[in-house]
Structure 1
Amino acid sequence: MTNALPRARQVLEDGMAAGLQVGAQLHVRLAGELVANLALGLAAPGKAMTPDSMMTWLSCSKIVSSVAFARIWEAGLVGLDDPVAAHLPEFAQNGKGGVTLRHLWTHTCGLLGVDNALFAVRYTNTNEENVALICAARPDAGWVPGRKAGYHTSAVFLLLAEIVRRKRGRPFPQVVREEVLLPLGMSDSFVGMTAEEVDRYADRLGETFDTTGAEPKPGSWAPDAPHQLTHVMPGGNGRGPMRELARLLEMLRRGGELDGTRILSPQTVAAMTARHRTGLMDRSWGLRIDWGLGLTLDSKIHHEGRPHLYGYGRHASPRAFGHSGFRTTTAFCDPDAQLVLACSWNGMVADDQVHSARQNALAEAIYEDLGLAP
């Protein structure tokens, strides 16, 4: 397996030599079979990267949280076009009664103002305070839900997780752990850890380096601090090895079941990976990108076939789906190629385009290494 992906490995090593990251962890599977489980460089200052290193997922956490929400949808506890206020009555404040769960899940709800306001306080507020702040907010001026799009870093999944919490009667991190992660054999993965778990896994926790300057240095705004790891942040503080994050995508590739454990029905997976938002300009990123239910879809169709920010490279099929974490992480499945991969770069670069180039280059190298390029 060491030499299974020579082009991909070179892309990662070139990025380390250029100071874009200090280490990388990559897991690739083809038709369910292991291709590579690479660990390069450092996971944290003075700590070698290994396949067991538990790296930050950032917004790849939204894949896990979407699966947890899909389970209550599949169980009939919510309807996709229900008003959010049907399940969170306090959300109806200030004219938000027409916003539906579909609008949340596809980032077409128009809460970018409060999402931006959350950024500075989301890890210092309690979960109750974060939810209350969103519910009390006014919608973005002139926004017709479903007609405009804009990626929400935190607000959308704080609301979806709160609905899961109320329906299940348990804290959201516990629901995710018990209903998704542990059944899938993802025993070293979390979306919200306890203080005891942070202590127990201290030697394995990776850190994200700031690579915005001439030399990488420890520290970035990735959620690496204990108070961030233990917070309720369903859209951003997932943590675990890339091999376990890949298991989640493998479950989706197989229609909701993995190793005899069914998490979702094939119909639910088909709905999650279908295009629910098509051709809309994303006002957060300034590009057209299509969306499933909580999942980013390959959108080269809107870019003359060229790779795009947080895309899956020029060789990915139109059916590829997954998510990316801000300038650090990607995890996706291409069902046509039967390919699943998850990668963590532990350097947060200064520019979206720099990260987009390394993400697309890695994806393309993997397709070429495996003979999957058209």
Structure 2
Amino acid sequence: MSSGCATTTSTRSISLSGRGFASGTVTRRAYPFAWMGTVEFMEFGGTCDPQDAGLDPDLLTQAIELIETRGTIAQLCVVRDGRVVVDRSFGCPPDALFWLFSASKPYLAVVIHQLVESGRLHLDDAVAAYWPEFGENGKREITVRHVLRHRSGVTNAGSYVGEVRAMTDWNRSLQRIEETKPRWPIGTVAYSPLAFGFILSEVARRCSGVPIHELVRRFVLEPLGVADTYLGLPDDLWDRHVPIRATGPLGPFIQSVVNRRSTREAVVPAAGMSTTARDLVTFYQALLGGALLRPETLALACEPSSEGDVDRTARAPIRWSQGFQLGGPRWIEGASTSLGSLSSPRTFGHNGSNCCIGWADPDRQIAYAYLTNRVGRPTADLTHHAAVADKVLEAAG
């Protein structure tokens, strides 16, 4: 056992060690798609003194109090310089499984960038080069990069409600996408909630021969040694899922769909990951630590693709890259603050319906995962998530 906040000396490893943490084995594996780095497997079991990680404990306490006051089921994990400083569950055990909504998208993005590293996929290829039927109805010029950047113009396949109802039926979802026309001109910044996932996943399947849930498992989850993340919840883990509590005009509809067993068990690549805060923070710490993607690939993945452009779906500026949302919103009037208004411009991550959020800040060397089961009023929920993130960021000075 470590008596303090120990970190590994390897520059290519993921360290999650700290007081009360048991160190696992270090392995190097060969994978056909990408160099994965060296992954050091750790077990969660305690936290290090925040001051040893350069964080103000009083401000971290304030972040926790914001969550406690809100009164929802939640988990919060914060890692600084490879050391776990916050590992808290609120109203649930640490292995409770949360539905990530769109905070699922970075897992898919990482797989796409791994395929690029392997030479099996090129971002500037047309989607129709891999999936000819996609090119129908004015979509022939849409590239893989357009989709990653939310610039394909294909925001929904038909109506939003219809798309949500079809999302558990893979073949029907693909058919709807083939039949749809772009809602916006190609190149327009317009967030794609669900079609994003089906398009990229079908491209990945066609160029690799492997379905997306298997790609995520083999080339993201297994290398990290995480055991509580699933794209499609296994039947025998249903008792561990956390039901969503949604309010507002769409609340009953959201609850009826997302809390349905068939939804949680389906492969919905843009929104359907079930996981814990511990596993999500491990994913982001891995990316900070140089695993999963080569440094130059991660830099490309995090290169800004929109700066101040109003997203036609969100009706606000969002800093997008190639599969991630980016931080640094305070320099752009009216920009989304879901990753924290104090986040650095190099912060990368993703918001999931103002319900679940994960991100990594390379400048502060912080990995962060905050999962909840509440979908309410967007403005209030966004304000809450930004406030919690900002307390953590402020704690770093």
TM-score, structure 2 normalization: 0.80
Query: Which residue does 1:58 correspond to in 2?
Result: 101
2:364 to 333, 337, 344: 337
Query: Which residue does 2:122 correspond to in 1?
Result: 79
Query: Which residue does 1:252 correspond to in 2?
Result: 287
Q: Which amino acid aligns with 2:298?
A: V
For residue 197 of structure 2, give the secondary structure of its aligned residue in structure 1: helix
Query: Which residue does 1:39 correspond to in 2?
Result: 89
Render the CA deviation track for 1:175-213: whole Å, top value 9, x for unaligned: 2112211211121101123xxx222x1332211112449
1:10 to 40, 60, 65: 65
Render the CA deviation track for 1:324-367: whole Å, top value 9, x for unaligned: 11121100111101111101121111x21011110110011112
Q: Which whole-Å CA distance do the structure 1 matches of 2:205 and 2:232 have between them?
A: 13
Residue 282 (structure 1) aligned with residue 311 (structure 2)? yes
Query: Which residue does 1:121 correspond to in 2?
Result: 165
Could you tell me the percent identity over the aligned residues?
28
Q: Which amino acid aligns with 2:223?
A: P
Q: Which amino acid aligns with 1:192?
A: G
Q: Which whole-Å CA distance do the structure 1 matches of 2:186 and 2:86 have between them?
A: 42
Decide whether the 8 Å contact of 2:338 with 2:354 is kept in 1: no
2:185 to 144, 166, 172: 144
Q: Which whole-Å CA distance do the structure 1 matches of 2:252 and 2:171 have between them?
A: 34
What is the number of residues matched between the two proteins?
340
TM-score, structure 1 normalization: 0.85
1:26 to 72, 76, 89: 76
Residue 240 (structure 1) aligned with residue 271 (structure 2)? no
Residue 130 (structure 1) aligned with residue 180 (structure 2)? no
Query: Which residue does 2:246 correspond to in 1?
Result: 210
Shift in CA distance, 208/329, structure 1 to aligned 2, threshold 3 Å:
same
Q: Which amino acid aligns with 2:185?
A: V
Tell me by how many angstroms 1:222 deviates. 6.3
Residue 297 (structure 1) aligned with residue 341 (structure 2)? no
Render the CA deviation track for 1:250-295: whole Å, top value 9, x for unaligned: 111123x1xxxxx221111111111123322101111111111110
Q: Which whole-Å CA distance do the structure 1 matches of 2:315 and 2:257 have between them?
A: 23
For residue 113 of structure 2, give the secondary structure of its aligned residue in structure 1: helix
Shift in CA distance, 11/121, structure 1 to aligned 2, threshold 3 Å:
same
Q: Which whole-Å CA distance do the structure 1 matches of 2:156 and 2:219 have between them?
A: 33
Shift in CA distance, 36/217, structure 1 to aligned 2, threshold 3 Å:
farther
Where does structure 1 differ by over 4 angstroms across 4 or more consecutive aligned residues?
1-4, 216-219
Q: Which amino acid aligns with 1:165?
A: R
Q: Which whole-Å CA distance do the structure 1 matches of 2:158 and 2:353 have between them?
A: 15
In structure 2, list runs of 5 or more residues that go unmatched.
Answer: 1-46, 51-56
Shift in CA distance, 217/78, structure 1 to aligned 2, threshold 3 Å:
closer
Decide whether the 8 Å contact of 2:131 with 2:206 is kept in 1: no
Residue 168 (structure 1) aligned with residue 208 (structure 2)? yes
For residue 87 of structure 2, give the secondary structure of its aligned residue in structure 1: strand
Q: Which moved more, 1:313-322 or 1:53-62?
A: 313-322
